[in-house]
Amino acid sequence: MTTNGEVAARPRGVRLARVSLRSAVERWSLAIAFIGAFAFFAVARPNVFLTWANARGILDDASVLSVLAVGVTVVLVIGEFDLSVGFVVGLAAAAGVAAMSFRGWPWWVAVLMALGAGCVAGLANGVSVAILRIPSFIGTLAIGSIAAAIELAVTKTSIFEGVSPRYVEIATTTIFGMPLRPIIAAGVALLFLVILRTTVYGRHASSIGDNPAAARLAGVPATRVRVIAFMLTGLTAGLAGVFVTSSAGSYYPGLGTGYLLPAYAAAFLGLSLGGGLRFNVLGSYLGVLLLGMVTTGLTVMNQPSWIAALVQGLVLIAAVAGVAVRRRGALGR
Amino acid sequence: MVAEQPRWLEARGLTKTYGGVRALDNASLALRPGEIRGLVGANGAGKSTLVKVLTGLVVPDAGEVLVDGAPLHLGRAQKSLLAGIASVPQELTVASSMTVAENVMLGHEPRGRFGRLRGAELRRRARDVLDSLSLDVDVDDRVGTLRLIEQRLMMVARALSYDARLVIFDEPTATVAPVEVGLVLGTIEALRRRGVAVLYVSHRLDEIERICDSVTILRDGRVAAERERSPTHAELVKLLAPEHEALERGARRRPEIGSQTVLAVRGLSGERLRDVDLVAHAGEIVGLAGVAGSGARELVLTLVGAVPYEEGSVAIDGSRLAPGSPLRAVNAGMGFLPGDRALAVFANHSVRHNVSLSSLARYTFGPFVDVSDERALVRNLLERVHLRADQTAPISSFSGGNQQRAIVARWMASNARVLLLDDPTAGVDVATRPEIHRQILDLCAAGAAVVLVSTDVDELAELSDRCVVFDRGTVVAELAGTKLTPARLLAAMTRTAA
């Protein structure tokens, strides 16, 4: 009997160890990929890639996208989509620059105008989804189209400058050698991390994302939580608009296009971080840095730019497929 | 007359197990042409599993179905349909933007060369079927414009259009107004005249008495009894709920029910409710009984704010509650404990988060959750519901019964004044049932008023201080004291109001 027990116990122990190692690898796969990619480029091109200037460049380039990825994480947490972010970046950029070059208002009013435009667009998204009950996929697309229309009406598809020098300093100022934009982006990520993890609002938001019907029946103020989520996302799109125009020193048409897909790609990469299989701010932030690092690294290795897009697509498919498999496993148990 | 015909359909030794639970246990059934067979039994007795086997939606673990002596290929819905077995489901499955003719012939439209739809032929065949059922609807009408009862009877026409030899009805009158029940029963008579057999699944025993030639009674997946002649309503009640007074209602210790009215419902009317009055006192358990669609469950969903109401009032401790807002209902002291845990449990969250969600406002500083306060309160509550668990463990790692305990703790945390229980022991194993029952009694002892909806008459009779019986959206009877027995409840629930 004792022998039987021992025989039975041993493989079980081995199995447990293997399972926990596997789950640890799964849990940290994003971080492992991040370190792996870093090590690869560091070894391949040490004298170009492993430089302070390169690290600074990657972080500075990633600042717009990391703000947006962190922003869309909030709507993903409540189980919705915001497909208007790219358009709202453009609208906010136009609002900010127009305030300075049409009206001659100071730089800080321009920033407030851009953030305000993002907030209002977020409010419109929130109302259409939470109150008018339009599925977010189509509702935010419609609001995005309206935002693009307003942007065009204001700017008439022309480039305009007349940006105040102080406004440009947002992009050029450095603190201890680090540009201001990635510092603000990291601060926003930290702020959103705190909101989602430690506040009553964050608890309510994740309960809605987990089980909307149960959240409503448990007395969660679902409408308010949803509207605020879209406003927070809109706010980050407004900030992204400020980042883009302060760096360019001007407004140019179509500056918001091209951000939507990589922002969601980063958030979905971030889904694989941690054991909960949930969208999380840290994961989205790391996802942006990983994508940025891969792009820069491949450029440094003199690969054509299509290789970077291809690798990004493959990484995203691998990450999301991995998550889907794990989720099926979790349900099977 | 019917008895002389040979049996064309025979199901033998059907057995089906779902995760250790025997849904069907060696069940058999044989039907003659034109026979109307009643199929009755409590919830979970195996009726729907039997129906699903016959219609090819479920493959049994053992047993066979013979049609004209030849074995039917089980588990293929199309094979069952071609063999002449059709069913009219409880839920309407119509394409409401399409015409009556298109709906009746859906899935086997007459086709010409190259798959061309033969519209005239389609309409003619649909009209024939409708005529044979004496259904007076235009084949070109959009189905969405028909009355609900007409849509339901159109489903019968669809079943018949497959040259059905057996039509299975699953609770056809559950949500049908009394004056329209005759239409349904008339349609069934028309089927009998055409020599079509009918399997009539219903909780309404008086309807079974009225139209069925024979009855099969299922209990725990087995055929408990079979009657060649339709028994009377009283006999059926006796067969379904053998009189057992051994539940010992008096044996359980109940504190005095307070005289204080906690919940007061006056003249409540809405989509599925008509002029409902209900009062619940502190420490009282009020049972709501009724078959599916009777209004018992609808009342609870209305009280929790999931469904709005049109007229009347709901008050907790004298203050009125606005309709259609779970947020306001919860803030006013309502708590909802569904048996369907998908409506209460946040599977990706920890036990702690699941317990504290409805009472977060009680431990905050500014916008933040005070986690140490939260931890202490949840620890305290988990002890009260006898759930020894790591607070940070995901709730999905617990059994159904323990998840239910966590939800009980949630409403203890929010100091709920009225607890609405919707089939709290549905899908809970036999061992956990008494435990949940004890928690319900504990909640009462703490001064809450409990409103309990259950499809299980034993549970209602055992737990309730008073039981209100619903039919078609309104209160039809109230039982209390020694009159509150499972048999009397069942009798009151299953009698169609005149």
User: According to the model, what pLDDT value does residue B117 have?
Assistant: 83
Each residue of A266-285: pLDDT tens digit? 999 898 887 667 899 999 99
Nearest-by-CA chain A residue for B411: A218
Summarize pLDDT for B165-187 with one digit per residue, the tens: 999 988 777 666 666 778 888 88
Q: In chain A, which residue's Cα lies nearest the Cα of B362?
A: A200
Give which of A211, A217, A220 to mutate to test B binding, by max B Cβ within 10 Å. Answer: A217
Instruction: List the end-to-end C-alpha distance of chain A, in Å, as a whole number.
Output: 30
Which of A126, A41, A28 lies closest to A297, judged by CA?
A41
ipTM of predicted complex: 0.84
The per-residue pLDDT for range B366-408, each reduced to its tens digit, is 899 999 999 999 999 998 888 888 888 888 888 777 888 899 8
Q: Which residues contact B107 (CB under 8 A, 6 or more apart)?
A: none
Residue-wise pLDDT for A38-69, tens only, equals 999 989 888 888 888 888 999 999 999 999 99
A208 to chain B: which residues are within 8 Å by CB? none
Q: What is the pLDDT of residue A143?
A: 97
- List, run by run, the mean pLDDT of 10-residue segments along chain A (333 residues): 37 51 76 88 87 90 96 96 96 94 92 97 97 95 96 87 89 91 97 95 95 93 96 98 94 90 91 79 93 88 86 83 70 41
pLDDT of B341: 81
Whole-number pLDDT of residue A6: 35
C-alpha distance from residue B386 to each of B346, B443, B464 (Å): 20, 13, 23
Taking CB atoms and an 8 Å cutoff, what residues of chain A touch B364? 200
Tell me whether residues B369 and A204 touch, CB distance under 8 A.
no
- Confidence at B436, pLDDT banded by 50, 70, 90: confident
Q: Could you give the residue ranges of the DSSP H alpha helices within chain A?
A: 2-27, 29-44, 46-49, 52-77, 85-101, 107-126, 136-155, 165-172, 180-198, 200-210, 212-217, 222-248, 260-271, 281-300, 305-332
Contacts of B343 in chain A (CB under 8 A): 213-214, 217
Task: Give the whole-number percent of chain B exceeding pLDDT 70.
Answer: 91
Question: What number is the average pLDDT over the span B146-150?
Answer: 82
Residues of B in Cβ contact (< 8 Å) with A219: 326-327, 329-331, 358, 414
**CB atoms B346 and A211 under 8 Å:** yes
pLDDT at B240: 76
pLDDT of residue B13: 92
Q: Hey, which of A257-261, B251-255, B424-428 has the most confident mean pLDDT? A: A257-261
Q: What is the pLDDT of residue B251?
A: 39
Residues of B with CB under 8 A from a CB of A: 304, 306, 326-327, 329-331, 336, 338, 342-349, 353, 357-358, 360-361, 364, 367-369, 371, 396, 410, 414
pLDDT in tens, A277-308: 789 999 999 999 999 998 888 888 888 888 88
**Residue A14 confidence (pLDDT):** 46
Q: Higher model confidence: residue B396 or residue B430?
A: B396
Q: Across the interface, do B348 and A199 touch by the CB < 8 Å criterion?
A: no
Please tell me the predicted confidence (pLDDT) of residue B177: 66
Rounded to an integer, the average pLDDT of B468-487 is 86
In angstroms, the Cα distances linking B245 to A71, B42, B484, B487 are 63, 18, 10, 10
Contacts of A278 in chain B (CB under 8 A): 348
Chain A residues near any Cβ of chain B (below 8 Å): 198-201, 203-204, 206-207, 210-211, 213-222, 276-278, 330
DSSP string, B68-132: TTEEP-TT-HHHHHHTTEEEE-SS----TTSBHHHHHTTTS--B-GGG-B-HHHHHHHHHHHHHH
* Global confidence as pTM: 0.77
